[in-house]
Structure 1
């Protein structure tokens, strides 16, 4: 992903050890986490910190994650209802 702040291509140095830049660990365990991250990406796009094309891709991925969380929650609830109906509780 490119940003407007760092558009330079990385320099390759043979025989040197370069430190990796740590990336923050994002918590995306709930739909609210995904919503919060979408809002951050939106703000970055509005302030031109992130290219709009990159922001669009990120929001698409966040939407997919949120859908999977929703489906997982519904599946758990359905399984619990089925177990209750069959007396497996």
Structure 2
């Protein structure tokens, strides 16, 4: 990801109404590099396919878009996986900062 001068925009499409997901559009302009749209969080029954057990989990749809003149797809994918790891395990944000 760019070290300087780029921005990551976050849009909360799920705050009002039934916005489960969106297709974020990155408007060309100075500094805009990545945009993420976060949908409405919902409690869903998540079943483990291996043994059939399950549990209730809070899930939200997340959609990403990037300016591929600046960010390569592999870079964005690596960033998204790192971001997901921090969101799913918030304790990592504290542990990684030391």
Could you tell me the TM-score, scaled by structure 1's length?
Answer: 0.31
- Which of structures 1 and 2 has the bigger CA Rg? 1
Could you tell me the TM-score, scaled by structure 2's length?
Answer: 0.28
Which has the larger share of helix?
1
